[in-house]
């Protein structure tokens, strides 16, 4: 018998330079792992930049950058780092803000689109986020991006050409423009079947609930007309 299943489509807007995006990824993955229909869920990573004005390489630490950008005392920013690192540790991530290299994420987003064209978007997203927040890699460096491509099994010549010619630059810009059209002002942001929107690194329980609701809406119970067949109701059982 032919089995036709409607795929639940999930688009995730996020930035590689967003600490809550990595935490949100882990929490969403935990929800998806416990979802009975996870094999019928399609996840698509979409690009977003929190600060597109960043230079390719910022001469300073993450603490200095955020202090200047937000106009906050360094002590307060350091406290924020501690709180975020604690939340990250809760999902098995080891953030190292002291080693973090501040860099523009635009080129890395282009690499993510290249990986997506080869069906390796999730692996690339994981690699980039871990490199940025846990390993102190420079995500704006061409040398690092080529290393990332190699780690995911992408062709070196194709990667070099894609980055030099900015083949996926318009795809990145299109993602950002679409986010603006949808009213997305912060990431991570999860869009399920273009009907549900979940903002932020929400608890896994909330993601699981939304997945269940989206599945039920996409696969409503079909009542089959029938006669006979004993059943029980509020007034008792048929005899």
* pLDDT reported for residue 1: 47
Q: Would you write out the chain's pLDDT as a tens digit for each of its 239 residues?
A: 445 568 999 999 999 999 999 999 999 999 999 999 999 999 999 999 999 999 888 889 999 999 998 899 999 999 999 999 999 999 999 999 999 999 999 999 999 999 999 999 999 999 999 999 999 999 999 999 999 999 999 999 999 999 999 999 999 999 999 999 999 999 999 999 999 999 999 999 999 999 999 999 988 755 555 565 565 655 555 55
Q: Is residue 73 domain-resident?
A: yes
- What φ, ψ does residue 39 adopt, rounded to 5°? -70, -10
Q: Is residue 238 domain-resident?
A: no
Distance from C-alpha of 92 to C-alpha of 12, rounded to nearest angstrom = 21
CATH value at residue 79: 3.40.30.10
Q: Which residue range forms the structural domain that includes residue 144?
A: 8-218
Distance from C-alpha of 231 to C-alpha of 239, rounded to nearest angstrom = 9
Q: Is residue 104 domain-resident?
A: yes
- Indicate the number of domains in the chain: 1
Alpha carbon of residue 206 to chain centroid: 16
- What φ, ψ does residue 118 adopt, rounded to 5°? -110, 15
Query: Tens digits of per-residue pLDDT, 158-215?
Result: 999 999 999 999 999 999 999 999 999 999 999 999 999 999 999 999 999 999 999 9
Task: Report pTM.
Answer: 0.90
Q: Is residue 237 domain-resident?
A: no
The answer to whether the beta carbons of residues 215 and 37 sit under 8 Å apart is yes
Q: Is residue 161 domain-resident?
A: yes
């Amino acid at each position: 018998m032919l089995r036709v299943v409607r795929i639940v489509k999930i688009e995730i807007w996020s930035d590689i330079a967003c600490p809550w995006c990595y935490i949100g990824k882990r929490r969403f993955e935990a929800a998806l792992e416990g979802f009975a229909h996870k094999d019928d869920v399609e996840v698509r990573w979409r690009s977003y930049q929190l600060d597109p004005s960043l230079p390719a390489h910022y001469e300073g630490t993450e603490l200095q950058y955020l202090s200047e950008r937000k106009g906050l005392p360094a002590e307060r920013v350091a406290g924020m780092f501690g709180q975020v690192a604690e939340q990250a540790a809760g999902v098995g991530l080891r953030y190292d803000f002291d080693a973090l290299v501040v860099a523009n994420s635009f080129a890395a987003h282009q690499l993510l689109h290249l990986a997506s064209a080869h069906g390796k978007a999730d692996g690339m997203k994981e690699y980039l986020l871990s490199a940025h927040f846990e390993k102190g890699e420079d995500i704006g460096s061409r040398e690092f991006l080529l290393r990332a491509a190699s780690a995911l099994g992408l062709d070196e010549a194709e990667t070099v050409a894609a980055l030099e010619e900015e083949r996926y630059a318009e795809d990145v810009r299109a993602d950002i423009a679409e986010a603006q059209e949808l009213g997305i002002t912060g990431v991570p942001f999860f869009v399920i079947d273009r009907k549900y929107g979940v903002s932020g690194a929400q608890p896994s329980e909330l993601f699981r609930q939304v997945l269940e609701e989206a599945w039920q809406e996409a696969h409503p119970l079909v009542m089959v007309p029938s006669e006979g067949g004993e059943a029980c109701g509020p007034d008792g059982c048929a005899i």
